Amino acid sequence: MIDASHRFFDLPEEEKKEFQRRNLLDPIKCGTSFNVDIEKVHLWRDFLKVIAHPEFNSLYKPAGYSEVSLEFSKRTREVATEILKGISESLGLEADYIAKAMNWDRVRLQILAANYYPVCPQPDKAIGVPPHTDHGLVTLLIQNEMGGLEVKHKDQWVLVNAAPGAFVVNIGDQMQILTNDKYKSIWHRAVVNNKATRISIAVPHGPSLDTPALPIPELLEREGQAPKYIGMTYEKFMELQASPAAYVKPCLDHLRV
């Protein structure tokens, strides 16, 4: 999957132009930075985002990309499903509770997001991706041999030294809402280097677009807690994350009771 993505980024700029889009849920889009409409400083990265589920979108070039990405998306959905089962059981719920509540089997949203970070001559003056949390339930991430993912731990940025061939799994905002803060989305960022190109592929898995995440009633009753968040459909939440409002305060803070 990493090799196939690398071949896409190696295509001539003219060939990639046809995939340049700006709408949030375009089935296939590539570009640079994060949100060029509202950013004051652009990011040191290119990206390719392909919606792989509920409808798989085929990218006809480079040759072989679609076949590889179709298999990869199927396998990562299986892994994400097992993770959701484990989280449900850890909360004392039936294994398929979260999947059912979030319409996981019907029309969950899965995106293949490939990030390309070229060699940066002044890495101390650039950023690949700024600090953020993921919008979905869980995100699976792989990367080439060049690390660059950092997570925030006790107000310090810590480099993630993932084992070769391993998935890094991030909890997303929808999971934090569902569990009423028992599981928390992780703040993370991508840094760049002056030695070699880094490629990462993040695969966020979310509920169906029209499904609002709400704190799980059984958990609230058992813990004697009030809900900490109001509901918002996943699509509206993604729009919020891509809006100027997300620069003012974190998306979750917009939903706090």
The residue with greater pLDDT, 107 or 237, is: 237
Let me know: does 141 contact 170? Beta carbons within 8 Å: yes
**Amino acid at residue number 219:** L
> Average pLDDT for residues 67-73, to the nearest whole number?
97
Q: How many Cβ atoms are within 10 Å of 168's Cβ, its own excluded?
A: 18
Does position 34 have pLDDT exceeding 90, yes or no? no
> According to the model, what pLDDT value does residue 192 have?
94
pLDDT confidence bin for 224, thresholds 50/70/90? very high
pLDDT confidence bin for 62, thresholds 50/70/90? very high
Does position 42 have pLDDT exceeding 90, yes or no? no
> According to the model, what pLDDT value does residue 39 have?
54
52, burial (CB in 10 Å: exposed 0-12, middle 13-18, buried 19+): buried
Does position 163 have pLDDT exceeding 80, yes or no? yes
Strand partners, 109: 206
Beta pairing, strands 188-190 & 149-153: antiparallel
Does position 38 have pLDDT exceeding 60, yes or no? no
Whole-prediction pTM value? Answer: 0.92
Does position 186 have pLDDT exceeding 90, yes or no? yes
Q: Which one, of 206, 219, 202, lies nearest residue 5 by Cα?
A: 202
Beginning with the edge strand found earlier in the chain, give each strand of the sheet holding 46-53 in spatial order.
28-32, 46-53, 109-117, 198-206, 138-143, 168-171
pLDDT tens digits, one per residue of 83-120:
999 999 999 999 999 999 888 877 789 999 999 999 99
CA 194 to chain centroid = 25
> Average pLDDT for residues 199-228, to the nearest whole number?
95
The residue with greater pLDDT, 99 or 248, is: 99
The residue with greater pLDDT, 37 or 187, is: 187
> According to the model, what pLDDT value does residue 36 have?
52
Let me know: does 138 contact 124? Beta carbons within 8 Å: no
How far is residue 23's CA from residue 20's CA, in Å, rounded to a whole number? 10
> According to the model, what pLDDT value does residue 40 have?
58
> According to the model, what pLDDT value does residue 37 have?
54
- Domains of the chain listed by start with CATH number: 2-255 (2.60.120.330)
> According to the model, what pLDDT value does residue 35 have?
57
Does position 212 have pLDDT exceeding 80, yes or no? yes
**Percent of the chain whose pLDDT exceeds 90:** 77
Mean pLDDT of the chain: 92
State the SS3 of the chain.
CHHHHHHHHCCCHHHHHHHECCCCCCCEEEEECCCCCCCCCCCCCEEEEEEEECCCCCCCCCCCHHHHHHHHHHHHHHHHHHHHHHHHHHCCCCCCHHHHHCCHHHHCEEEEEEEEECCCCCHHHCCCEEEECCCCCEEEEEECCCCCEEEEECCEEEECCCCCCCCEEEECHHHHHHCCCCCCCCCEEECCCCCCCEEEEEEEEECCCCCECCCCHHHHHHHCCCCCECCCEHHHHHHHHCCCHHHHCCHHHHHEC
**Percent of the chain whose pLDDT exceeds 70:** 96
